[in-house]
Chains A and B, each alone.
Chain A
Amino acid sequence: MRQAGGDLEEAARRVARGDVSAFATLVNATSARLYRLAIKMMGSGEEAEDVLQESYARAYEALRAGRFEGAARVDSWLYRIVANQAINALRSRRRRPAVTLQNDDIVADPRQASDVRVVLRELSGWLDALPADQRAALVLRELEGLPNAEIARIMGCSEGAVEQRLVRARAALRARSEQ
């Protein structure tokens, strides 16, 4: 993140007062990190961008309505919004017919694109078989490096439930790797 925490808090206060340019500052400072989170969760650049768009729209509404009270840092608060939005998107994806994942235009650097595309295709192929909650727990733990307590807070469940989801997810992936 390019901005120090205090700058982001100030930008959030300015958004609440109706300063549109402060919202652009907030998005510029946080979107790269949150895009990586969203693409790890969804496995698709297109869906990651949809998740980000919806998340920032909700955050903007909350800031304008004075619903962000500053109990958490702004970047942590945004991170939780994106994680939750991605979990909801994964759950609703289960209820819809399967979609073909497109990974075009997912990265800034075209030289990077083929490596990333290969990994995302692989990641999607493996993680799509998991239930949404197991997938989210695994991504947050293994790809984002969050402690179980933080994952539990994000997912609104106990640490025990997180541990159980991780054990099941790893067992399913291990079974697949042995096939």
Chain B
Amino acid sequence: MTEHESLDERLERWRRVTDALEPPGGLSERIVAGVLARAARPSWMDLMVTYGRRGVVAAALAAAASLLLATASGTVDELDAEAANMEIGL
């Protein structure tokens, strides 16, 4: 580097040094390991397909069960009303 280095000279020096640069040891191995580990992880979409679908089925079953219970036994308000009626002997 000189005191009066022109912009072109500076860029040329940067190019020369960076062109000669050799990457740190193990770079390729780290990249391959990282990419394969990432590929082995389930993606958000995979999780949605696997567990999301199960979640939808579970939610639908829970909703159906609540409906059956409510139909068979009445709502919480109705149960409270029945209990109150029993207390007063109705």
Binding site for B on A (CB under 8 A): 20, 23-24, 27-28, 31-32, 35-36, 39-40, 45, 49, 52-53, 56-57, 60-61, 64, 105-109, 112, 115-116, 119-120, 122-123, 126, 142-143, 145, 170, 173-174, 177
Contacts and interface: CB of A to CB of B under 8 A. Distances in A.
11 contacts: A31-B31, A35-B27, A40-B14, A107-B23, A108-B22, A109-B22, A119-B17, A119-B18, A122-B14, A145-B15, A177-B10
* Residue in B10, B32, B35, B38 with the greatest tally of chain A CB atoms within 10 Å: B35
Nearest to A29: B28
B53 interface: no
A60 B7 contact: no
Given A49-B31, A53-B35, A142-B15, 15 more contacts: A28-B28, A31-B23, A31-B28, A31-B31, A60-B39, A64-B39, A105-B24, A107-B21, A107-B22, A107-B23, A108-B24, A119-B17, A122-B14, A142-B11, A170-B7
A74 to B, nearest CB: 15
| Interface band, chain B | 20 to 34
B22 A32 contact: yes
A29 B14 CA distance: 24
B28 A119 contact: no
B23 A108 contact: yes
A165 to B, nearest CB: 15
Contacts of A123: 14, 18
B37 to A, nearest CB: 10
Contact of B18 (A61, A126, A143): A143
